[in-house]
Amino acid sequence: GEVLRYDFLVRETPIDMLCETNRTILTVNGLFPGPEIRAHRGDTIYVNVTNIGPYGVTIHWHGVRQIRYPWSDGPEYVTQCLIPTNSSFLQKIILTEEEGTLWWHAHSDRTRATVHGPIIILPVGNTNYPYKFDEQHTIVIAEWYARDTKDIIDEALASGGDPDLSVAYTINGQPGDTYTCSNGSAYNITVVLGKTYLFRIIHSGMNEEMFFGIAKHNLTVVGMDGAYLKPFNTNYLMITPGQTMDVLVTANQTPGRYYMVFSPFVDTNAPSNENVTRGILQYNRNYNHSETPALPELPGFTNKSDAGNFTIRLRSLNSKEHPSTVPTSITRNITITVSVNQQPCPANQTCAGPQGQIHSASLNNISFWAPSISILQAYYNNLKGVYNETFPDKPPFVFDYTGNVSALGEAANVSTEVLMINYNEEVEIRFQGTNFGAAENHPMHLHGYSFYVVGMGDGNFNDTYISEYNTVDPPYVNTVGLPKNGWTAIRFKADNPGVWFMHCHLDRHASWGMDTVLIVREGPDKDQKMLPPPEHMPPCSGL
């Protein structure tokens, strides 16, 4: 592959949005959404990240495996400390098997709300797609907040409460014409009758899963999370924060204007901004431009069955050129309960969480506590006392995960525990959703790996489901929506040594502790070890 170079300048930028002018947000290169990185399969990309914003940040390349090189992966206090104000960090993105659409985002505090952008990975030879199209467009869905996102999370964490919700969704930075002050403007794409378009859809939103559709137009889903899918036709998508989907759309309708709409999929208990955002697909022809565009018919906000019916159709392409390699001799079997819990309010404090307690979330009843120096650097330098290698392979107690759990649930243990995995183990992780608190889908995301989603269902996992696993062509993704009150099973081969974050991609839950870290040990051979660290990492106090 080639070696490419990008410069990212992280800085505050005044933006006009909705009814506000000159709201200062953190951006890369003054752009919202941020700049696109475009490369080919197998390229190496150097990104010089310079921070002149008011606080430290980190940047993560979501879905890039970074084989043997966790040093540039980015999650704060997992692989690095913050890039301080007025300093730079030269990050290296190592592309290997990824092909399709991924994205990058800030991975410190809540800064990813405004600091994110696409990573487009073309096949070698540019035209070597397993499908045909004429043109491509990237569509980034994001959430917009009324205030600085860092202030919002800091306040929420300090009071143990729920962070403020976004006030709008945006498509490529535009809220669209359902919002006041948009002056009827919306993101639009002009199409030519008869042509086929590849839409690369990236869900950079913070907390809401989304349905998506375009009035009257068929969508052919062909890729997801930087890998190809077996094409299938649908009139709507269900996409979670963290996921990307590649979709073909042929402009084959009566020339005119058609709405494209993102509409949230929310649990009835979940707090939510039930606005939709819409853009316009318009034909490049003569017709009456003042006619109101048609709206797509999307599932309702709480339509769990339509959400599930979409997800169940995802299959990897599994062709000769892009074969699936699903691990079938599992050597490590891990069950992880995923739950929202609550913590007692410390004495002499008022807490804004439910019943006066602190909002909290956990994996196997452990609420992740980020250390103040990075776990990767502690691991590499053999520093003791930063984390414990004690994250359990099984939940600490058994309960009916999906029953009506009206009690608060056990308060989770707040600690820094990592899951140790041997090199080349064939790993299965079964995530089990629970009914504690306001249960909802959890888009579980793993750094350093894509994984095969071999099974998924409602209710409690039970061993009889193993015989129904799809081990032939399951989707190969980096983020999977664990169904509300259900389970999902994923598989991967632990062939990437390093320190890898795993967490729910709902920002609210991640900030409450629904995270853990996988440390994949090095193998005996030279090419099974981590590559050496770069000359300069952002400084950690105490290292």
The option from ligand C2O, Cu ion, none interacting with 140 (CB < 5 to 8 A, set by class) reads none
Question: Given the complex with ligand C2O, which of 236 and 500 has the nearer CB atom?
Answer: 500
Minimum CB distance to Cu ion, residue 430 (Å): 16
CA distances from 484 to 149, 264, 403, 505 (A): 27, 15, 12, 14
The option from Cu ion, ligand C2O, none interacting with 107 (CB < 5 to 8 A, set by class) reads ligand C2O
Name the segment binding Cu ion (CB under 5 A); options: 49-57, 228-236, 306-314, 498-506: 498-506
The option from Cu ion, ligand C2O, none interacting with 430 (CB < 5 to 8 A, set by class) reads none
Distance, CA of 498 to CA of 519 (rounded, Å)? 6
Task: Decide if residue 506 touches Cu ion (CB under 5 A).
Answer: yes
Query: Looking only at Cα atoms, what is the longest distance across the chain?
Result: 70
Question: Given the complex with Cu ion, which of 216 and 430 has the nearer CB atom?
Answer: 430
Question: Given the complex with ligand C2O, which of 387 and 501 has the nearer CB atom?
Answer: 501
Minimum CB distance to ligand C2O, residue 66 (Å): 12
Q: Which residues bind ligand C2O (CB under 6 A)?
A: 60, 62, 75, 105, 107, 242, 445, 447, 501, 503, 505
Minimum CB distance to ligand C2O, residue 265 (Å): 19
Question: Look-up: residue for tokens 């077996």?
Answer: 230
Among 200, 216, 359, 509, binds Cu ion (CB under 5 A): 509
| Full strand arrangement of the beta sheet holding 135-144 | 168-171, 135-144, 196-203, 244-250, 219-224, 227-234
Question: Given the complex with Cu ion, which of 213 and 443 has the nearer CB atom?
Answer: 443
Task: Decide if residue 508 touches Cu ion (CB under 5 A).
Answer: no
**Is residue 225 a contact partner of residue 177, using CB atoms and an 8 Å limit?**
no
Minimum CB distance to ligand C2O, residue 464 (Å): 33
Say how many Å lie between the first and final Cα of the chain, rounded: 35
Show the binding pattern over residues 78-117: x = contacts Cu ion (CB under 5 A), - = does not.
----------------------------------------
Show the binding pattern over residues 393-432: x = contacts Cu ion (CB under 5 A), - = does not.
----------------------------------------
The option from Cu ion, ligand C2O, none interacting with 503 (CB < 5 to 8 A, set by class) reads ligand C2O
CA distances from 130 to 49, 222, 357 (A): 34, 9, 52
CB nearest ligand C2O: which residue?
Answer: 62
Task: Decide if residue 442 touches Cu ion (CB under 5 A).
Answer: yes
The option from Cu ion, ligand C2O, none interacting with 200 (CB < 5 to 8 A, set by class) reads none
What is the torsion angle, in degrees rounded to the nearest 10, for the CA atoms of residue 60, residue 62, residue 67 and residue 73? 10
Minimum CB distance to ligand C2O, residue 103 (Å): 8
Query: In this structure, which amino acid lies at residue 374?
Result: S
Distance, CA of 76 to CA of 58 (rounded, Å)? 6
**Is residue 203 a contact partner of residue 138, using CB atoms and an 8 Å limit?**
no
Q: Is 176 helix (H, G, I), strand (E, B) or coil?
A: coil
Distance, CA of 53 to CA of 347 (rounded, Å)? 36
Strand locations in 64-218 (E): 87-94, 100-106, 116-122, 135-144, 168-171, 188-191, 196-203, 209-214
Please report, as ranges, the residues that interact with Cu ion according to CB under 5 A. Answer: 442, 504, 506, 509
